[in-house]
A and B are shown apart, each in its own frame.
Chain A
Amino acid sequence: MTEPHDDHPHVPGPSLWPVGFAVGIVVLLVGVIISWWVAGLGGLIALAFAFLWVRDLTAGTALAHAPDVAPETGGPAAGEPAAAAAVDEEPEERYPRSKFLELSTLGLGGVIGGIVTAPAVGFMIAPAFLKQGQKDHDIGPLTDYPEGKYLIVTYMADASQGEVSRRTAFVRYNGQLKGQPSFTIISNHCAHLGCPVQANGPLDEKNTKQIGDVTLIPTVSIAGFGCPCHGGQYNTEGNRTAGPPVRALDRYSFSIRNGHLFIGKPFSVSHVDGAGATAVIHKWTFSFPGEHVNGLESWLYPIQPPH
């Protein structure tokens, strides 16, 4: 007669401890590169889970219940019911192996995919939104700016980017206001769709000045600004007078250091009341051209990306 136990060799029950063991090994290997403390931690984790795993493996075997081996003498009659019971128990498996493998494959695949994808996609998107603020730029001594006349100023906003970062602004000195010099600095980006607006009037190009990367072109007298793309027109304060623009021209903040004019951050303007030094400028967060900054339509643009 054959021993009934031979038909059902001992198979260890399902155990999740190897997962922890594997994690411990990974931490150990990472620690070898990063720091011995981490390696030690990984070793401890691996050891702890290895112990639990071995305990699971040996549960119900001779290793764990050495003294209980004695009833083996029972023979086939006693062994058969036990074997039948084991067969009955199989469908009641707590957690099927195939299910575990399926879920762990999907889960691990997802984690690996995420680890690879997240930094790549982040690298694609984030640089466009971070470190956008531009440094103030020196656009020459105050004496270069005669009172009441616009100068067309072009400058390279970021020397590391080169010519592609060249910007143009219309700068007018408005005289003193309460002991402080007042300037109007209007951006040349049309508030319709960003084409470059031009000064409506003759320029005094013979007296163009070049200081480093800054160019100053004086105007004789201008009646406002006009856009060549779709015909938007603005008056000398940048208010829209005709055409498709949705707001006034953007402006730049400015500061004065050591007698030099510095062009600062841009901001959007819905409209300007009055003119010159005493004008009331209705300021808004800097927005892309074509976006309403006030009124009902501005609800379409609740959040601006960091400019």
Chain B
Amino acid sequence: MATRRLTRKDQIQQTILYPVDWLEERSGLVGAIKYFLFRKVPGDTNWFQTLGSATLTAFIVQALTGSILAMYYKPDPTIDPRTKLPVAYESMQHITNDLWAGWLVRGMHRWGASVFIILMFMHMGRVFLFGAYKYPRELNWIIGVLLLAMGLGEGFTGYLLPWDQTSYWATVVGVNLNGTAPFLGPFLAQFLNGGTYIGSDTLSRFYAIHMLMIPGAIAALIGLHLYLVIRLGVTSPPWSKEAAGTGPLDGQAPNGRVGRAGLSRFRRGQ
């Protein structure tokens, strides 16, 4: 009886594992995911160190809700002769007032944008206060700063899309602020406008930058950012006794030692 039950269990296990093994044998992906999920982190990591993942989650929410909003939004500044309203503004009203759950998804995207920016700054503050930007993680700080700049660019380009008075004049002011940058400022402003003034191409140009160019660059940079996090390991908090070598875990595997120790561990292929 017992043996029969065991074999059945084995059979079920084999059936489940077969596709996993199939994938692993051909791609090594399962091992990679296991390496990513079960990598060693210092024993005394802090809740503040979840801010990075929170920022990533906020970006994923933005990407998802943004893609869905794009199914209904029309980046067209021309006046609809029927309603005497610009088509872009009209489509925004349609999303908010007429479509099922449109108000919710638009609200998620609109407020999520602020959440994304706030989380980026909080994550940046955590990294700064923990000293986690120091050797060998300087490059990851630089990538993070680029991500911050692109996140702000998303905020700037996305703000115009409702095409109402607030967004229009805020963009006029924002573009002209860019124009006051020394030397290349006027050229930057003219590039953003697609001309001397905000014109018929400005809205679609902002839309393209907002939903194709910057998100693509952000996704690529997030990949690089995460790669470096995995390669270099997570830092201990600055008060860590473990990292200082005086804590209860001292003498065990140097998983609390990041930086140089983490780097050499990586080189040893662990």
B255 at the interface (CB under 8 A from A): no
In the bound assembly, the distance between CA atoms of A305 and B190 in angstroms comes to 8
Residue in B78, B182, B194 whose beta carbon sits within 8 Å of that of A128 in the complex: B194
Nearest neighbor of A167 in chain B, beta-carbon distance: B197
A288 touches B182 (CB 8 A): no
A165 touches B200 (CB 8 A): yes
A163 touches B179 (CB 8 A): no
In the bound assembly, the distance between CA atoms of A291 and B180 in angstroms comes to 6
> Among A128, A129, A161, which residue has the most Cβ atoms of chain B within 10 A?
A128
A162 at the interface (CB under 8 A from B): yes
In the bound assembly, the distance between CA atoms of A200 and B5 in angstroms comes to 91
Q: How many interface residues does B have (CB within 8 Å)? A: 30
Assuming the contacts A165-B199, A291-B179, asked whether A195 and B173 have C-beta atoms less than 8 A apart, the reply is yes
Rounded to whole Å, the gap between the CB of A160 and the closest CB of chain B is: 8
A125 at the interface (CB under 8 A from B): yes
A161 touches B177 (CB 8 A): no
B172 touches A125 (CB 8 A): no
Residue in A128, A167, A193, A307 whose beta carbon sits within 8 Å of that of B176 in the complex: A193
In the bound assembly, the distance between CA atoms of A166 and B200 in angstroms comes to 11
A290 at the interface (CB under 8 A from B): yes
**A116-167 CB contacts (< 8 Å) to partner B:** 125, 127-129, 132, 158, 160-165, 167
Nearest neighbor of B213 in chain A, beta-carbon distance: A124
A301 touches B185 (CB 8 A): yes
B186 at the interface (CB under 8 A from A): yes
Nearest neighbor of B182 in chain A, beta-carbon distance: A300
Rounded to whole Å, the gap between the CB of B82 and the closest CB of chain A is: 15
Contact with B along A289-307 (1 / 0, CB 8 A): 1110000000011111101
- Note all chain B residues with C-beta closer than 8 A to A193: 172-173, 176-177
Closest 3 pairs (CB-CB, A-B): A288-B179, A290-B180, A300-B182
